[in-house]
Amino acid sequence: MFYRMVSFLLRPSARRVKNYWTRSWMRFAGLSRFGRLASWFAAWFTAPYFGRGYLASLNPNGFVSHKAVIHHSEIRLGANIFIGDGVTIFQDCEGGPVEIGDRVYIFDGNCIQTGYGGSVKIGNETGIQPRCQFSAYKSPIYIGRNVQIAPNCAFFPYDHSFEPGKLIAEQPVKTKGGITVEDDVWLGFGVIVLDGVRIGKGAVIGAGSVVTHDIPDGAIAVGVPARVAKMRAESIK
């Protein structure tokens, strides 16, 4: 009984100590080696995964997990970003910049890579759920503002040539001009977006779809390949 009473009395104090610890370390968070270490300390008493999302609001530099792998010389991070465990941001040969806007949340296991002039730009307030792949080779990937990307989505703005008589791995990479996902788009689980595609503002792409052609503004598209099923405006009638 006495132990329970003491625990009850100390519990608010323990919460205050944890909160002070977290906020104190988040003051030093950033991309530097010490900044990454500070983020690690700050996360000690927080829940994992989504539970750490609020840490990004505690410092304009945001929260970059110490378990994220960032090997990129042209990365530009906006204010209050979140980069979770196991995220990889990689610059391959002649890779262009990666620009991440304000309050972008990139959760665990995502991979963003640029090579051969390709680049990635992600607009403000966009959320990217786990295990998505952004491979920007030869052409850019542009993701607008307030885009919601479900887990396991993939973006490939290039393709291999496959002429007969020569190993595919030895053939050149070609592109139709990149990928553009406009503002307020929602991509369902496992969507694949291929080369030369524009997904219009406010569009919704159903889970498992493969987008091979442009999708107009406000459309709901599903299937392999993705086709417009109806317009969002029709769903409110």
Active site residues: 160
Tokens of 161: 């040539």
For residue 189, give the H/E element and its range. Answer: none
3-class SS string, 9-33: HHHHHHHHHHHHHHHHHHCCCCCCH
Fill in the amino acid letter for 155.
Answer: F
Task: Classify 87 as helix, strand or coil.
Answer: coil
Buried b (16+ CB within 10 A) or exposed e, 108-129: bbbbbbbbbebbbbbbbbbbbb
82-83, strands of its sheet edge to edge: 63-64, 82-83, 105-106, 127-128, 148-149, 186-187, 204-205, 219-222, 227-231
Q: In whole angstroms, what is the distance from residue 171 CA to residue 160 CA?
A: 7
The DSSP symbol for 130 reads S
Q: In whole angstroms, what is the distance from residue 1 CA to residue 108 CA?
A: 43
Across the strands, what pairs with 228? 221
